[in-house]
Structure formats: C-alpha cells, structure tokens
Amino acid sequence: MQKLSKESRRQIIVVSLTSFLADVSSEMIFNLLPLFLANVLGVGTGVIGLIDGIAETTASLLKVFSGWLSDRLGARKWLAVSGYALSGFSKPFLFFAGSWLAVLFVRFSDRVGKGIRTAPRDALLADSVEAEHRGLAFGIHRAGDTFGAATGLVIALLIVLATATGGAFILSRETFQTAVLVSIVPGILAVVVLALGAREVVIKSKRERPRLSLAGLPQPFRRFLPIMLLFTLGNSSDSFLILRAQERGLSIPGILLMLIAFNIIYASAAGPLGALSDRLGRRRVIIGGWLVYGLIYLGFGFAVETWQIVTLYALYGLYYGATDGVARALVGDLVPEAQRGTAYGVFNAAVGIAVLPASVLAGVLWQGIGPWHGFGPGAPFIAGAVLSLAAVLMFVRWQATPDAVTPKEA
C-alpha cells in the first residue's frame, strides 16, 4: 500500500469497506437461503438452481447498461451508490417470504442492485489506481469483500446457536427471520460509507458517445470473454456446494464454520495473489486458479466423508483468491479508461448470464427434471471440472495482442 498514492489508498479503503459491510449484510442470509428453501419451504434443487440462475442472469443484463451509462456520463460513484441502496432496502423483505416465488422476487431485486453497482464500482476502482498496482488494488478489494462475508457468517452462526432449541441445530423460519433483521444495519452502513467517503474520478479520455456494443471493445477483451464463459458454464451457483455438504451429513453449524474457513482463506489469499499477478501476469495466476478449481470440483464429485467436504470447501478459497480480483484487473488492463464501465458491464453480465444455464444444468444433473432422472449429487461437480480444464486449454493459447492497453503478458 505504501507504493500507492494517497488518493488511490483512500479509494481502495472506501470501496473495500463498502463491500465489507455489504457482504456482512448479504452473506449472513444468502448462505442460509438454499437451506431455508430446501428445509423450510420444501423446494427441490432444480427450483433452487432456477432461482439463482434467473436472479443472477436477469439482473446481469443491467450491468452492461450501467457500465455503459457510467462511461456516457463520465461518472461512476452515484450509480454504484444507488445499486448498493437498492440491495440494502430489498433484503429485509425476506422476513416475510413464505414461498419460493417471494424469495425469487427479493433475490431478483437484490441482484438488480448488484447489476447497477458492480460495473461502475469496478471501473471507479480501476480508474483510481495505476496499472502496475491494479492487481493489488482489486486483491485488497476482494479481501475486504470476503472478510465481510466471513464476518456475516460468524454472525449467522451465532444466531443459529442462540436460537437452537433442545440442542437441535436446525434452520427454522424464526432463525432465518432473525438473521434477516440483523442484516439491515450493515446494509445501510455500506450505502452511507460509499456515498460520503468515495470520490468521483474524472475520466480524462472521454469519448462523445461510448458505444453500447461488444464490437467496439478491444480485440483482446473480446477474445478473453468466450474463455471466461466456457469456464462459467461449469461453475454453477455455490448453493450446490452447500447442499452437497448437507447431503454428506454436515450440520448447519458445521456448514457455517466451513463457509467461514473458506472466506478466511479467500480473503487472506486475494491480496497476495493479486499482487503476484502484477509481477507474473494475470493469465498465469488465473490458469493456476482454474486448475485448483478443477481438482476441488473433482473432489466434491467423489467425496464420501464430511471432513473431505470441509477440507475441499476451505481450499476452494484459493481458487477465488487467484481468479476473482485478478480477472477484474485483467479487464482493466485490456480496455482503455473511457470504455472500462462498458467493458466491466459486458464482462459481469456475460458471466452472470452464464450462471443460468450452469445452475439449471447442475440441478438437472443432480436431481433430474420431469421424467428425466439425474445422475446423482456428484455429477454437477464432475461436469464442472471437465469444463474448467477445457477453459484452461483455451486460455493457454490466448494472447493479449498489441492493441491491449497494457503490454504485459496479461
């Protein structure tokens, strides 16, 4: 952090703290949500996959527009603030949810907020930091976000323990509603911190009319996008990992402890691995992360004991630490300043849209649908491992051609 300018450090701290608070709010309820749907509302895995897929995919379409709009306006901050506000004010309605349709409505509203804020926020962070420190900046941001997730999970665990009756650690409606109420405070604080703490970055290389088009973006970015999409088709919602843990016999407190360990490893790895990508190049670090992902998903496919699930899920944090922030930094490298909002919108939307077929496919492979029988709980994870290997092979052949903004081996 010493190498960064004072203004860059300020932006990183404010954006990271905002994400920390937002994730405290979200993770204490959204990691319980698949268990609430399955155990309280009696919803099957096919519908759970459909809810996650629709919410993520439909809302992701907004990421393209909000990113383009931030380029068009030459402003990022207030679009990001409005997105955080929508998410913060929608989640409390889960308190009243009595059907999967009600859950879908709230999930959709929350993801619309995420769709509005994500691309402008990422562009704001990329614009605030020099290219040679961009991996570090996004790594710190992902670490803040993930420590927020771990904190939210600790709070959720305390709520589950405090509301247990007769020593039975089950997720009741009342327990879930308590978590929803507690989540309101950090959700509101996230909006306040970003609104009061962040500073708008003036885009120096403005264009008259940024094009809302993939064709107008640099070729290296357009070549990277289908590789990311192929990988994402095998990367279904993490709800299936939670359900897999329950299916292998892990208790609710055990699942929450597993998630806490995952987030601690993720948060601890994100900064160093982001900084490593500044030195070694983004592609090498991402490929390493995808290979870790493939091995872990194979493990989930064949795991028998609960300790195996817990170990694999904790190590899953290494994959996130090596890829999540680094991929965002790579987008910033490949696209000029005046197009970054649009590029981040396209990137996040494409990945989000791919979550729908990925999650539906996972649900069908696991449980089947209608007259078609599934292949069992291990099938989605084996399929994910195969697709991750195919994406690695494509990425090995990918090169950032000379029209990339940053000449580094990306």
Is residue 208 assigned to a domain? no
The span from the first CA to the last CA of the chain, in angstroms, equals: 22
- Give the residue ranges of the chain where pLDDT is below 50: 208, 401-407
pTM: 0.73
What is the structure's pLDDT at 276?
92
Is residue 409 assigned to a domain? no
CA gap 316, 303 in Å, rounded: 14
Is residue 95 assigned to a domain? yes
What is the structure's pLDDT at 327?
92
* Residue 171 to residues 152, 245, 253, Cα–Cα distance (Å): 16, 15, 10
* Residue 407 to residues 74, 122, 218, 226, 280, Cα–Cα distance (Å): 25, 21, 13, 21, 13
CATH code: domain of residue 167: 1.20.1250.20
User: What DSSP line would sit under 140-188, residue for residue?
Assistant: HHHHHHHHHHHHHHHHHHHHHHHT-BTTB----HHHHHHHHHHTHHHHH
Q: What is the DSSP letter of 96?
A: G
**Residue 116: both structure tokens together:** 């509005």
What is the structure's pLDDT at 401?
44
Is residue 336 assigned to a domain? yes
Is residue 272 assigned to a domain? yes
Segment 302-358, tens digit of pLDDT: 888 889 989 999 899 999 999 988 998 899 889 888 788 888 888 877 887 787 788
Segment 50-68, tens digit of pLDDT: 887 777 777 777 887 888 8
Is residue 53 assigned to a domain? yes
Mention every residue, 6+ apart, whose C-beta is less than 8 A from residue 14: 193, 194, 197, 198
Count how many domains the chain has.
Answer: 1
Is residue 212 assigned to a domain? no
CA torsion angle for 217, 223, 229, 230 (degrees, to 10)? 170
Is residue 406 assigned to a domain? no
φ, ψ dihedrals at 168, nearest 5°: -95, 115
Please list the residues that pair with 388 across neighbouring strands: none
Closest CA to 264 of 320, 306, 325, 305: 320
Q: With both helix axes pointing from N to C terminus, report the angle between 239-247 and 252-280 in degrees, rounded to the nearest 10.
A: 140
CA gap 370, 152 in Å, rounded: 37
**Residue 13, exposed/middle/buried by CB under 10 A (0-12, 13-18, 19+)?**
middle
Amino acid letter for position 97:
A
Q: Which helix (H) or strand (E) holds 369?
A: strand 368-369
User: What DSSP line would sit under 56-93, residue for residue?
Assistant: HHHHHHHHHHHHHHHHHHT--HHHHHHHHHHHHHHGGG
φ, ψ dihedrals at 335, nearest 5°: -125, 135
CA 123 to chain centre: 16
Full residue range of the structural domain in which residue 68 is found: 6-198+217-397
